[in-house]
Amino acid sequence: MSAPISSSLSDLAMLGQTLKANSERIVAESAAVFASAGRERAHPFPLDAVPGGLPLLLSELMALLPQAIAEGDVTLSAGAEKLEVLAELRLDVVIKALEGVSEVVVMELKRLEGSVAKGFLDEACRETRLFFDLKIAHYCQKFVAAQGTELTLHTRQLDEASERLAADGAGADAAAHSRVQLLQGVIHELRNTLQSVVLHATSVVDFPREAGVAEVMQRLTANGIRLQELLDRLGLYASLLAGEWSNRMESVDVGVFLQDLEVRHRGLARTASTRLTCRQTSGPSQIITDAGKLSLIADNLVTNAVHAAKGGLVQVEMSEGGTGRMLLTVTDNGHGIRLTEARHLFRVIHHVEGSKFSGLKLGLLASRHLAHLLGGELTFESEEGRGATFQVSFPRVLR
């Protein structure tokens, strides 16, 4: 419950006293937001990650907010540089946590509705959001700067690997050719995403009160989360990109494989209100293949399908695919893929205006390369408005 505030106070004084009187509860609720942001991405977010702790961050806001409202043109970023970048913190978790804390404080301010002037309260809420927007923007700038050397090295290494493969005439081999495409895709995504994060963060920091800053922040948030996802992929595909991922053959129980796949994606499907089914329709119960590679392919295809279906149906089937071969088929009844986009689906450097295909697309490039390493191929069929079917054909016994 909020602490009572005297009605004889001015709007500005009432605002300051409300924040001060309820600071402990605001800190507790904000701490819960930080913890939730970490759990959502299976990554802890310690409160001491914010220099001086969360209470200091909120104290800074409480000190600056009345002045910003009173003077009308005070920059709230005075202390934003204090938010240090720590290597163990994920960018997406930091963004989500600070967005959440912003809304906790705004909700606290809205408890004053009816007690202070509406225009004053609206301005207080705007300034609060601006304070946290600037924190996020500064953090993104510092994150990119801190990652700069390593990312530049990554990009240079990927460029060199791509050039070597092209010079060696690797295009004659399907696996080598798809690896070149994956390398090019990662380089393209990395450069574009880094550039977008820097441009949007700089725009918010330099022009925090310009019209359209809310839209810029939305793009910054989306690209910041995208950058973290890309960095995750770089780690996941490190050996694959280096061409050092050899096949590990083992006996795979098809029923168990499909059951595990369904369990891994049950939460995602539930969040998207999508029905997910996994079953075997024909073929042997045991196959010999690289379970790790096949799982990565299936994970990528199912994740894409669930995002595409959203409230619909995703069906995964394992079946016999001709002499000595198996088929892994993932079908969704989502929006489908336009013909203009379908022609370039495995070329991440091609952008189709108005594309409905979300995600990095690197998962598709990686899946195709993994299929080639398994002696198989990844193909798809789709009609706009009627969903899509992705199918992996691979040997029943990998040799």
> Domain extents for the chain?
1-245, 250-395
Asked if 111 contacts 3 with a C-beta cutoff of 8 angstroms, the reply is no
Question: pLDDT value at position 163?
Answer: 72
Confidence at residue 264, expressed as pLDDT on a 0 to 100 scale:
94
Alpha carbon 147 to chain centroid, angstroms: 17
Torsions phi, psi of 377, nearest 5?
-150, 145
Angle at 112 between CA 109 and CA 113, to 5 degrees: 110
What was the pLDDT predicted at 273?
A: 92
For 285, list phi and psi in degrees, rounded to 5. -80, -20
pTM reported for the whole predicted model:
0.66
Per-residue buried b or exposed e for 222-233, using 16+ beta carbons within 10 Å of the residue's own CB: ebbbbbbbbbeb
CATH superfamily of 250-395: Histidine kinase-like ATPase, C-terminal domain (3.30.565.10)
Per-residue pLDDT, 5: 38
Q: Phi and psi (nearest 5°) for 356? A: -100, 0
**Greatest Cα-to-Cα distance within the chain, rounded to the nearest angstrom:** 86
pLDDT computed for residue 48 by the predictor: 47
Q: Looking at residue 319, what is its pLDDT? A: 96
- Output the pLDDT for position 69: 67
139 vs 36: CA distance, rounded Å: 20
> Is the CB of residue 257 less than 8 Å from the CB of residue 291?
yes
| Residue 251, beta-bridge partner list | 288
Per-residue model confidence (pLDDT) at position 38: 52
- Residues 6 or more apart whose Cβ sits within 8 Å of residue 22: 2, 3, 108
Alpha helices per DSSP H over 212-353: 213-236, 238-242, 254-271, 291-309, 339-342
Residue 350 φ/ψ, nearest 5 degrees: -95, 125
Q: Which amino acid is at 378?
A: L
- The length of the chain is 399
**Rounded-to-5 percentages of helix, strand, coil across the chain:** 60, 10, 25
Question: What is d(CA 75, CA 266) in angstroms, rounded to the nearest whole number?
Answer: 45
Q: Which H helix or E strand runs over 164?
A: helix 118-167
pLDDT at 185: 74
pLDDT in tens, the chain (399 residues): 344 334 345 777 777 777 777 777 776 776 676 666 555 555 555 444 554 456 666 777 777 776 666 665 545 544 444 555 555 567 887 788 788 878 888 888 888 888 888 888 888 888 888 888 888 888 888 888 877 666 677 667 767 776 776 666 544 567 777 777 777 777 777 777 888 888 888 888 888 878 888 888 888 888 888 788 777 777 777 777 667 778 889 999 999 999 999 999 999 899 889 999 999 999 999 999 999 999 999 999 999 899 888 889 999 999 999 889 999 999 999 888 887 777 777 765 444 444 444 444 677 888 888 999 999 999 999 888 889 999 999 999 988
- How far is it, in rounded angstroms, from Cα 204 to Cα 223? 14
How many whole angstroms separate alpha carbon 195 and alpha carbon 214?
Answer: 19
Which letter does DSSP use for residue 116 in this model?
B
What was the pLDDT predicted at 52? 46
Q: What is the pLDDT of residue 31?
A: 67
